[in-house]
Amino acid sequence: MANAIRSEKLDLRLTPEAKRLLNAAAQASRRSVSEFVLESALDRAQEALPDRQHFGLDAAGWEAFLAALDAPARPLPRLQRLLTEPSVFEQAPTE
């Protein structure tokens, strides 16, 4: 993306305090406010779209992935206990 031509514009309205904070963060990062905001927004966009990320596997990795999906669930005694015992909110008060 570093070499991509930037032809689109995005305008924001923000409070004076938000602008001061962005200016300070950009200065501390040795970036312009535009660079700082763009990089930060793009990072956040990537975090918000995890199910749309692509990852590749070779044949062996794919087989291991399928085997893990098909494998029976392993026993988790602590989780079983958590789901079967009454919660502290359900227990009758003791007198």
Per-residue pLDDT in tens (0 to 9) along the chain, 95 residues? 567 898 999 999 999 999 999 999 999 999 999 999 999 999 999 888 877 767 788 999 999 999 999 999 999 999 999 999 888 887 666 66
Residue 10 in domain: no
The residue segments making up the domain with residue 46 are 16-51
Report field, pTM of the whole predicted structure over 0.85: no
pLDDT at 42: 94
Residue 78 in domain: no
Residue 29 in domain: yes
CA distance 91 to 71: 36
Residue 33 in domain: yes
Residue 83 in domain: no
Residue 93 in domain: no
Number of domains in the chain: 1
What burial class does residue 40 get, using C-beta atoms within 10 Å of its C-beta: 0-12 exposed, 13-18 middle, 19+ buried? Answer: middle
Residue 25 in domain: yes
pLDDT at 92: 65
Residue 38 in domain: yes
pLDDT at 59: 95
Are the beta carbons of 24 and 31 closer than 8 angstroms? no
pLDDT at 46: 87
